[in-house]
Amino acid sequence: MLRPVDRVGFEVRAGEILGLVGESGAGKSMCGSAIIGLIDRPGRISGGEIALDGERIDNLPEDRLRRIRGKRIAMVFQDPLTSLNPLMTVGQQLIQTIRTHLPVSSGEARDRAIALLEEVGIPAAATRIDAYPHQFSGGMRQRVVISLALAAEPELIIADEPTTALDVSVQAQIMALLKKLCRERGTAVILITHDMGVIAESTDRVAVLYAGRIAEIGPTRNVLSTPSHPYTKGLMASTPSTTGTMHALSQIPGSMPNLRAIPKGCAFNPRCEKAFSVCFKDIPILEPVDGSEVACWLYDPAVNPETKEISGVSE
């Protein structure tokens, strides 16, 4: 059995934006699909639990899960150009979604749809509602996608790389929109991305994923300014900065392991300069370090005699 996501645990509070960051194949999107219950066969959730507002949802029958999807948990996908059905008008898709979850007439649903489009910043929403997706630009389409996700006022939005397919100026607008809506409505957001810039600007907390496991999780400022896990340190060192002197970007040697060949112990061990004996034997678990939680044996004084020295350096 392959484990694209392994022992990942986190929580998101209402009104909070949690970032999930990691390389391609780190299991970010799989986390999102698992939460909303849309893992494609033959994948499945083999263990653990997912709870929404204290109520476990991962073991619900498909029919009840469907009622949660869109109504309480919504999802925004990466590519707005392919996320909308090309043969239906924007309004038809909105009205259909609204009426699936709310007991309103089609007239009311239409009014609501127009209000939603206005809210996400579509000009002349009342006429644009009858346009087809191909008549919108990429950025506008992503706004439509967000309005569809918001249609039934969900408590949680999972945004899977919502800006990756957009050009940079539009990216900032879309992120600002997501942040604004999240603040205004008190919606929790899980923002999946590999863009450290987006993480730094938009998220309250961040979880760094590596080979399907959480390497480090904590308040964004904390994780980015004082990374503890060697992988996070490597990531930060390889992110270009506009301040300070110019120097060649450092790289983490090697690449993320194939799912079929995740090394024993800590998955990061082949690429880690600091790896020592325990790292090759046992999987580290998350422990509090400097206000974050880090899964690394370096911070376990019981196995690493140098721990004091290392934390002394970072202080």
Partner 1 sequence: MAVGFISFAMFKFMGDPVENMLGQEATLADKAELEERLGLNDPIIVQYFRFLERALSGDFGVSYRAGLPVGELILDRLPATLELALLSGVIAISLGFVLGVYTAIRRDGIAAHFIMTASLVGVSLPTFLIGVFLIWLFAVNLGWLPAFGRGETRSLFGVDLAILTWNGFKSMILPAVTLGLYQMTLIMRLVRSEMLEVLRTDYIRFARARGLSQKTVNFGHAMKNTLVPVITVTGLQFGSIVAFAIITESVFQWPGVGLLFINAVSFVDIPVMSAYLLLVAVIFVTINLIVDLLYFTIDPRLSVSKN
Residues lying near partner 1 in the complex (CB under 8 A)? 36, 38, 66-71, 74-75, 77-79, 82-89, 96-97, 100-101, 132, 134-135, 145, 148-149, 151-152
In angstroms, give the least distance from the CB of 116 to partner 1.
Answer: 13
Residue 149 or 223 with smaller CB distance to partner 1: 149
| β-sheet bridge partners, residue 20 | 192, 207
**Closest to partner 1 by CB, 47 or 123:** 123
How far apart are alpha carbons 160 and 121 in whole angstroms? 21
CA distance 135 to 132: 6
Nearest to partner 1 of 67, 180 (CB atom): 67
Residue number, 100 or 239, with CB nearest to partner 1: 100
Contact of 284 with 297, CB cutoff 8 Å: yes
Residue 38 beta carbon to partner 1: minimum distance, rounded to whole angstroms: 6
Strand, coil or helix: 17: strand
Q: CB 170 → partner 1: shortest distance, Å? A: 18
Q: How far is the CB of 131 from partner 1 (least distance, A)?
A: 9
Shorter beta-carbon distance to partner 1: residue 35 or 289: 35
Least spacing, CB of residue 186 vs partner 1, in Å:
21
User: Who contacts 298 (Cβ-Cβ below 8 Å, separation ≥6)?
Assistant: 230, 274, 304, 306, 307, 310
DSSP per-residue codes, 205-230:
EEEEEETTEEEEEEEHHHHHHS--SH
